[in-house]
Amino acid sequence: METVREDQIEERVHRKKMKPWIKWSLILLGVLIVIVVGLLIYANAYVNRSLPQIEGEKVLTALEQDVSVTRDEAGVPHISASSNEDLFYAQGYVTAQDRLFQMEMSRRQASGRLSEVAGEAALNQDKYFRTLGLRRAAEASLALYDDEALEALQAYADGVNAYIEEVNNENKWPVEFKLMGINSMEKWTVVDSLTIGKYMAFDLGGNWERQAFNYYLINHFNEDEAYELFPSYPEDALTNISDEEYVDLTSSLVHAPKNHEFNGSNNWVVSGDKTESGKPLLANDPHLGLATPSIWYQVHLESADYNVSGVIFAGVPGVILGHNEKIAWGVTNVNPDVQQLYLEKRNKENPQEFLYEDEWVKADVIRETIHVKDSESVELEVLETVHGPIISEFANETDADPSTAFSVDWTALEPTTELSAILRINRASNWEEFEKGLEYFHAPAQNFVFASKDGTIAYKANGKIPKYKNSEDALLPLPGWDSSNNLTENIPYDKLPTLINPEKGFIATANNKVITDEYPYHISHVWAQPYRYTRIHEVLDQKNSLTIEDMKELQMDQKNLRAEWLVPIMVGVLENQDLTEGEMAALNLLKEWNYFDKAESPEPLIFHEFASQIEKQLFSEEIPDDIYSMFKGRGQTLDFLISSAYDGESPIWFDKNGGINKVFKDAFHQTVANLKESYGSDLNAWAWGDEHQVYFAHPLSSISILDKFFNSVEPEPVGGSGVTVMAASYDEDGIVDHGASWRFVIDLENLKKSYHIVGPGQAGHYRSEWYGDQIMDWVNGDYHLTKINDYKGEELILRAE
C-alpha cells in the first residue's frame, strides 16, 4: 500500500475544512441572486405600474356621461364626449396619463419653483422667472376670461387632478418623480395652465437680449464699430442717457434663461389653383427645442361643439395648431419687438424708488420666497416699476444698489386671453370667424396661415405689437424717467399685416420680413435670414399640381441657399491664396457641391465649420462669450459684413482683423485643421452626419447612468441645418437640439385626415411603445396618418358613475 505524503494529507484536510465555506458561499450567492432578481422584478413592476391604462374601463365620478378615448397606431388619443365639460375633463385626465412629469416640470419652470426639487442648480433660473412674473401675469389674466374659457380651464384641471389622486392612491408615480425625490404633487389649477401658456410667449420672445447687446456695444466700442453690428444704423439713439451709470450686464442679465435664437418655424398655404386636388394645401412645422418628451401633445377632441385635431402644450386645454372639419391653420413666430428695456434711475436715499417725470415713484415691492432642496430658502425682493419688473439685478450677489437698473416692458406680462382665442378658432368654420377669434390671441405674436374648405387662403401677423413713435427706439434701452418713451398703444388690429387669396396662389412665412417699406408701423429690426423663405417661395412658385407628397418633401428640403450665396465668395477670395494641399482639396469639394446639406456629404461639414470660424475670427477676441450669447440675429449681421467686405466697402470688423483675405484664409485654415483632427485626413470620408446628429434628450438623461433608460436611441446622423427648410440647428457639439418639433400637412379636399410627425413620440413613459417611435420618422420624413373619423385603436371608456 502506497504511503500518503504528509503534504497530501494536509491538502485533503484543507479541502474538507473549505467544503462548508464553499457550501455557505454558494447559499449566500443564491440568496443574493434571488434578492437582486426580486428587486429587479419589483422595480420592473413598479415602473410598469405607472404606464397609463389605455383600454378597458375606468370610473371617473365627476363625469356627466361616459367618454371614449381611443389611442390610434401613433398613440394619438381620440377623445369623444357628449358635453364640452366632459371633453376637457377627459383631455386633462388623458394628458396627465401620458405627460404627468412633463406637466409638473413645466409649471415649476414657468412659476420659478424648480429649486424645490432640483436644488441650487436651478436657483438663478427661479429667481429670473419670479422676477419676470409669468405666473403673476397668468393670475391677472383670469379676470379677462369669459365663462366658457374658465369652465374649460377648470374642467381640464379637474381631469388632471383626478389622475393625480389616482396616482397617489395607487402609488404609481412615474419613475422620474422618485428619481427627483418628489413624493407628492400639488393639485393642478387653472393658473398652472395659463402660466404654461405665458412660458411659451417667453420662449418665442427675447428681443430685450439684442437691446442689451447693442447697449454693451455702444459702451465698449467706438460709435462706428458699435453701430456696424446693429441691424440698422441709428441716429443719436442713446445720447440722452449715455452719461448715466453703466448697467453691468454680467451681474445678472447674462445669467437669465435665454430662448434659442433659432426658435422659429415654417408655414405655407397653397391655393387650389396650384394643387392637384383643386383644394388648398397647408403645411406647418414649428421650430422649437427637441427633447423627450415632445413639447407638443397631439390630440383629437370631439363633442357636439368641437371636432378638432392637432397639437397643444401638455397642460393646456384645446388644440392650438391643426384643423377641424372646415378649416386648417398653422403659425410661425413674427419675432416682433414686443420687449422694451428701460434704464431706470434709482433714488440713493430709497432704493425702492425710481425717477419718473421729475418725481421719485415707489416701485411695487413683491416679496418672493424660493424654497431650495437641501439648502436654506432664499428671499427675493422683486421691484416693479411703471414699466415693468427690474430684471438686471435678480442674480446680483452684492447688497449694493446701483444708481441705474434695467426694467422690461413686455406685452406678455399684461393680462391676455389666448385660451379664448384657441376655443374660438377650434370651432371656426370660415376666415371671418377665424380672424374674429384671433382678436383674443395677444402673445406671442404669430404669423397665422389659414385655409378653408371653401377655397379661401389667408394670412395674418397677429398679436399685441407695440406702436413705436420711432423705429430706432426699439434698438436700445429707453430712458425710463421720461413718460414720452412709454409704449402706451399697440398696432391696431385691423392694421396688422393681412393677406387674403393673393394672385400668386400661395402664402408662406419663415420668420422672414413680412412687411414692405411702405408699411406704416415698426414690427422688428431682427428678422430671420431669408434663406428658408426664399427656398419655400422658389419651390411653390415653380410648381403646379402640388400634392401632399410635395408638401412633405418641401418640409424635408435640405437646400442651403446661404451656401449657394457664400461659397462662390469663398472661392473668389481663397482660390488665389497660398493654400495647403488639404485646404485646396476642401475648396475643390465646395466648388463641385450642389448645396444640399446631406448627412452623408463632406461639403456641409466644411461649410458650416468655416462659417463658425469666420465669426470667431471677427468677434471672439473682443466680445466675451456670455455677452456674445445675447447677439441675436448675428447671422444677418455676419452676412452683411461679408457682402460689404467682398464688395470692397472695408467694414471695420473685417479691417481690424486684417481684411477679408486674411480672415477667410485664417478661418479656412482652422476649419480644415479642426476637421482633420476630428475626422482624419481623407476628406472624402468626412460626413456632415458625423458631427450633425439629432438627439431628443430627456431632462434626466444628463445623469449618465440614466441616459440609456430615458434615451434608448443614440444620437442619429441627420441632414439639414439652421438655414434649410428642414430646420436642424445644433449646439457647439454638433447635437441638433432645435428644429421641427411638429410637422403637419393637410389637403383641404379631405379634412377628415392629416399627416404628422411628433418627434420623438407621443408618450412620456419610457416603457410605452410610443415613447421614441417617431425619432427615425423625424430623421427620414415618415409621416403618420391621423383621422377624425373611422379611426381605430385601443379604447378606454371613462365611465360616469
What is the enclosing helix (H) or strand (E) of 785?
strand 784-787
Grid coordinates in use for 17?
A: 475544512
Helix orientation angle between 84-111 and 147-170, rounded to the nearest 10 degrees: 80
pLDDT of residue 45: 59
Asked whether residue 108 carries a pLDDT value surpassing 60, the answer given is: yes
Asked whether residue 41 carries a pLDDT value surpassing 50, the answer given is: no
Asked whether residue 24 carries a pLDDT value surpassing 50, the answer given is: no
pLDDT of residue 26: 44
Cα 720 to Cα 194: distance, rounded to the nearest angstrom: 34
Grid coordinates in use for 215?
A: 447697449
- How does residue 11 score in pLDDT terms, banded at 50, 70 and 90? low
pLDDT of residue 237: 47
Asked whether residue 397 carries a pLDDT value surpassing 80, the answer given is: no
Q: What percent of the chain has pLDDT over 70?
A: 92
pLDDT of residue 42: 46
Q: How many Cα atoms are found within 13 Å in the side-chain-facing hemisphere of 387?
A: 29
Asked whether residue 185 carries a pLDDT value surpassing 70, the answer given is: yes
Mean pLDDT of 71-79: 98
pLDDT of residue 620: 95
In this predicted model, what pLDDT tens digit does every residue of 520-539 receive, in sequence order?
Answer: 999 999 999 999 999 999 99
pLDDT of residue 44: 58
pLDDT of residue 730: 93
Cα 732 to Cα 365: distance, rounded to the nearest angstrom: 40
Cα 458 to Cα 587: distance, rounded to the nearest angstrom: 45
Residue 705 vs residue 406, higher pLDDT: 406
Q: How many Cα atoms are found within 13 Å in the side-chain-facing hemisphere of 133?
A: 30
- How does residue 87 score in pLDDT terms, banded at 50, 70 and 90? very high
Helix, strand, or coil here: 596? strand
In this predicted model, what pLDDT tens digit does every residue of 229-272 receive, in sequence order?
Answer: 998 766 654 443 456 789 988 888 988 987 777 678 999 999 99
Q: Are 415 and 440 in contact (CB under 8 A)?
A: no
Mean pLDDT, rounded, of the chain: 92
List the one residue out of 533, 546, 487 whose CA is nearest residue 342: 487
In this predicted model, what pLDDT tens digit does every residue of 694-753 receive, in sequence order?
Answer: 999 999 987 767 877 788 778 999 999 999 999 999 998 899 999 999 999 999 999 999
Asked whether residue 433 carries a pLDDT value surpassing 60, the answer given is: yes
DSSP lists the bridge partners of residue 478 as 342
pLDDT of residue 741: 96
Tell me whether strands 498-500 and 457-462 are parallel, antiparallel or unpaired: antiparallel
In this predicted model, what pLDDT tens digit does every residue of 538-596 receive, in sequence order?
Answer: 999 999 999 999 999 999 999 999 999 999 999 999 998 999 999 999 999 999 999 99
Q: How far is CA 584 from CA 587, 589, 677, 680, in A?
A: 5, 9, 17, 16
Asked whether residue 110 carries a pLDDT value surpassing 90, the answer given is: yes
- Strands (E) located in 413-533: 446-452, 457-462, 478-479, 498-500, 506-509
pLDDT of residue 401: 84
pLDDT of residue 149: 98
Write the single-letter amino acid at 432.
Answer: E
pLDDT of residue 204: 86
Mean pLDDT of 430-435: 98
pLDDT of residue 713: 79
In this predicted model, what pLDDT tens digit does every residue of 482-518 receive, in sequence order?
Answer: 999 999 999 999 999 999 999 999 999 999 999 998 9
Write the single-letter amino acid at 433.
Answer: E
Mean pLDDT of 179-201: 95
Backbone angles phi, psi at 716, to 5 degrees: -110, 125
In this predicted model, what pLDDT tens digit does every residue of 612-644 receive, in sequence order?
Answer: 999 999 999 999 999 999 999 999 999 999 999
Q: How far is CA 567 from CA 10, 100, 585, 681, in A?
A: 85, 48, 14, 22
In this predicted model, what pLDDT tens digit does every residue of 763-800 receive, in sequence order?
Answer: 999 999 999 999 999 999 999 999 999 999 999 999 99
Residue 40 vs residue 787, higher pLDDT: 787
For the residues of 667-732, what is the DSSP string, one character each? Answer: HHHHHHHHHHHHH-S-GGG--HHHH-EE--B-TTTTSHHHHHHH--SPPEE---BTTSSSBEEE-T
